[in-house]
């Protein structure tokens, strides 16, 4: 496939709350409440796996989940589960793993990496609001290329050139943990690790400005560019001279409103 590279190739993708069909086993006849249930959502972050079906203990949990899509939180009976991902419409398992879900907790299961090496990772999400006047933001890297990155949250009244990276040298599977910032408007900007970008033409992602209200909690999942163009170059050196492709997208997930 021919790939046309452009410095405007990718914009920030907000996919929080994309619903998928869900069937929950073990819950029939059980009245689940916020305190008695666990909450689970699933994200497809594999750039080349196509749509996937998600199963818990061999029962369908979410179907036809496309790249860059995320389910809403689903109530689950607390306990041990085997969560697996299969190619949509088949039972060809791409990844499988065991996990324990606890009452009163919320989790995100990420189906990441390329299909040939797909991995399922379970993250424990924050359930409490950030302090008054603050927000809590977590950055999780699921980008298979082009390597380690620095991530900025550029204030609406600020400029990239005068903004300090929120996280540096974040690589595939990296998790920043929750970091607190003043409530306000921010744009997610991603650059190759160790660089000092001064404009969007020198970044891998220069996202749109989003408003973060006081107390809100968000997780920003960095993923490969959510375009149909495949494959990506293995290294930045394979890009045309003078062009730095924004080959990174982002899912801004709502953990606490």
Report if residue 168 sits inside a domain. Answer: yes
What's residue 217's pLDDT? 98
Name residue 76's beta-bridge partners.
38
What's residue 86's pLDDT? 95
What's residue 68's pLDDT? 92
Is the pLDDT confidence value at 71 over 90? yes
Is the pLDDT confidence value at 6 over 60? no
Could you tell me the pTM of the whole model? 0.81
Which tens digits make up the pLDDT trace of 193-252? 999 998 877 889 998 999 999 999 999 999 998 653 444 444 434 333 333 454 799 999
Please give the average per-residue pLDDT across 71-89, as a whole number: 95
Distance CA 26, CA 131 (A): 36
Report if residue 14 sits inside a domain. Answer: no
Distance CA 215, CA 18 (A): 22
What's residue 198's pLDDT? 86
**Which of 232-238's residues contact partners 24+ apart within 8 Å by CB, and which partners?**
232/3, 232/47, 232/144, 232/145, 232/146, 233/3, 233/145, 233/146, 234/145, 235/145, 235/146, 235/147, 236/146, 236/147, 236/192
Give me the chain's average pLDDT, please.
Answer: 82
Report if residue 238 sits inside a domain. Answer: yes
Structure tokens at 254: 């709502």
Please give the average per-residue pLDDT across 136-142, as a whole number: 97
Report if residue 3 sits inside a domain. Answer: no
What's residue 74's pLDDT? 95
Is the pLDDT confidence value at 178 over 90? yes
Report if residue 19 sits inside a domain. Answer: no
Report if residue 227 sits inside a domain. Answer: yes
Report if residue 16 sits inside a domain. Answer: no
Whether residue 118 contacts residue 111, with contact meaning beta carbons closer than 8 Å, is answered with yes
What's residue 231's pLDDT? 44
Q: Where are the beta strands (DSSP E) in the chain?
A: 38-44, 52-56, 59-65, 74-76, 79-87, 93-101, 106-112, 119-125, 134-141, 149-155, 167-170, 175-182, 184-192, 205-212, 217-224, 248-256
Q: Which residue range is the domain that position 239 belongs to?
A: 38-256
Please give the average per-residue pLDDT across 77-81, as a whole number: 96
What's residue 25's pLDDT? 34
Report if residue 4 sits inside a domain. Answer: no
Q: How confident is the model at residue 11 (pLDDT cuts 50, 70, 90)?
A: very low
Structural domains of the chain, count: 1
């Amino acid at each position: 496939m021919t790939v046309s590279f452009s410095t405007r190739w990718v914009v920030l993708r907000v996919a929080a709350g994309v619903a998928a069909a869900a069937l929950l086993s073990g819950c029939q006849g059980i009245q689940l409440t916020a305190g008695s249930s666990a909450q689970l959502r699933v994200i497809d972050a594999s750039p080349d796996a196509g749509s996937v079906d998600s199963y818990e203990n061999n029962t369908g949990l979410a179907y036809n989940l496309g790249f860059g899509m995320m389910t809403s939180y689903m109530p689950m009976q607390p306990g041990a589960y085997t969560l697996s991902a299969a190619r949509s419409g088949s039972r060809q398992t791409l990844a499988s793993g065991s996990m324990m879900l606890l009452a009163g907790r919320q989790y995100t299961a990420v189906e990441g990496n390329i299909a040939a090496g797909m991995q399922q990772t379970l993250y424990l999400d924050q359930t409490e609001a950030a302090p008054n006047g603050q927000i809590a933001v977590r950055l999780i890297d699921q980008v298979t290329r082009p390597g380690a990155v620095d991530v900025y949250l550029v204030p609406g009244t600020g400029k990239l050139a005068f903004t300090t990276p929120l996280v540096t040298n974040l690589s595939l599977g990296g998790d920043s943990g929750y970091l607190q910032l003043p409530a306000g408007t921010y744009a997610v900007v991603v650059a190759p690790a160790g660089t000092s970008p001064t404009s969007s033409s020198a970044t891998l992602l220069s996202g749109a400005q989003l408003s973060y209200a006081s107390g809100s909690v968000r997780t920003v999942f960095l993923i490969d560019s959510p375009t149909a163009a495949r494959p990506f170059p293995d290294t930045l050196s394979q890009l045309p001279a003078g062009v730095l492709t924004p080959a990174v997208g982002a899912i801004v997930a709502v953990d606490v409103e």
